[in-house]
Amino acid sequence: MAITRFSFPTTIHFGPGARALAGPHLQERGLRRPLIVTDRGLAALPLIGELKAGLESAGLAVAVYAGVAGNPTGAQVMNGAAAYKAFDADCVVGVGGGAALDVAKVVGLLATHPGDVMEYVWDHPQVRTIDAAALPYFIALPTTSGTGSEVGRSSVISEESTHVKRVIFAPAILAKLVFADPELTLGLPPAVTAATGMDALTHNIESYLSPAYHPLCDGIALEGVRIAARALLTAVREPGNLGARAEMMMSSMMGAIAFQKDLGAVHSCAHALGTVCDLHHGLANALMIEPVMAFNLEAVPAKFAELAHAVGVASASGFVPWLAHLKHQIGIAPSLAAVGVRREHLGRLVEIASKDICHQTNPRACAAADFERFFTEAF
């Protein structure tokens, strides 16, 4: 596979070995002191040391901030901003999955702007203004194929006290350049590959089903579903299969590009599970997708027929059973109870899901009673 360069929505270098281009790129732009933002798990692996050495070989002085763990929080962002200023960094290199990249997107923001990260969330009553010209240069190197955060214009950060996920949305925080190297995903264990892969698949499915008018995103989402359908099982069963890894990385980016059209009730449920139970976002989507899709089928049967065709199923009614079979094949847990969610969580889950904005673009309107049914069926 060759490295391909394209711009959509930002410049992307895609292909095995693309990571080696990051250091020369920063050096050519006159940047000298990058801060790598990553998570604790990755920091303990040889990968970060190799990436750091690659940047240093381009003549750069490099520091690493590895304070990201679990669902990203405001404190992780503020600590990263402090690390940026302490090192006197001049750019940010985000390396990791969705959590690390979401933190990396706004470390530079808080290093160059006043206040707390939560003052920049889109629905803050007095949301602070972002000065795009003041933001440091930011590049992204994804190491998972799920959120597609590397091509997204938003950062999802959890509040410390409530664990509620808040969104900073601004085109200015989009990575200036993405080095999408599928070799960086070869070390992912099967369970992580499965959960992140279901995240990518869910993004594409929910984007396509959203009633918002955006034919461009519809085309991207359908092809993203088709790619994931043929690649995910192989990526889980054959972790060294570079072709399958590349296809899942592409599907992940396509899902994140498509969901500018908006998402749906699966994500409202997943956000609630992340808030209440700190459940991995991709796994939460995987556990909730069947009951929500079964609910949506009668509202948009023609779209389900298109999804069925994309995954190689004969009829619209076969799409949800196909999802169930795929989940079983890739080892997704069979129920919420199997991952430690308890029935006493139900009331709080329904409350948070009902308030979440994502279900406002679900193809079928959802009330609290519907969310109660979704969660009950998932137990």
CATH of the domain at 249: 1.20.1090.10
Residue 206 sits in the same domain as residue 180: no
- Tell me the residue range of the domain where 80 lies: 4-185
- Residue at token pair 């959203």: 210
Residue pLDDT, tens place only, 274-332? 999 999 999 999 999 999 999 999 999 999 999 999 999 999 999 999 999 999 999 99
CATH number at residue 14: 3.40.50.1970
Q: Tell me, yes or no, whether 22 and 88 share the same domain.
A: yes
Q: Model confidence at 196, in pLDDT bands (50, 70, 90)?
A: very high
Please write the tens of the pLDDT for every residue from 220-237: 999 999 999 999 999 999
My answer on whether 18 and 158 are in the same domain is yes
Termini Cα distance of the chain? 43
Overall domain count for the chain: 2
- The whole-model pTM stands at 0.94
Measure the CA–CA gap between 375 and 18, rounded to whole angstroms: 41
* Co-location of 128 and 80 in the same domain: yes
Q: Residues 160, 123: one domain? A: yes
State the CB neighbour count (10 A cutoff) for residue 1.
Answer: 12
- Phi/psi for 68 (5° steps) reads -90, 130
Single residue among 170, 185, 200 that ends a domain in this structure: 185
Per-residue model confidence (pLDDT) at position 71: 86
CB hemisphere CA count around 43 (13 angstroms):
14
Residue whose pair of structure tokens reads 């002085």 in the numeric block: 61
The phi and psi torsions of 214 (rounded to 5 degrees) equal -160, 75
Is residue 159 classed exposed, middle or buried when 0-12, 13-18 and 19+ CB atoms within 10 A define those classes? middle
Cβ atoms of 228 and 197 closer than 8 Å: yes
Largest CA distance in the chain: 59
Mark whether 213 and 331 lie in a shared domain: yes
Residues 284, 301: one domain? yes
Q: Are 108 and 236 in a shared domain?
A: no
Dump pLDDT digits (tens) for 103-138.
999 999 999 999 999 999 999 999 999 999 999 999
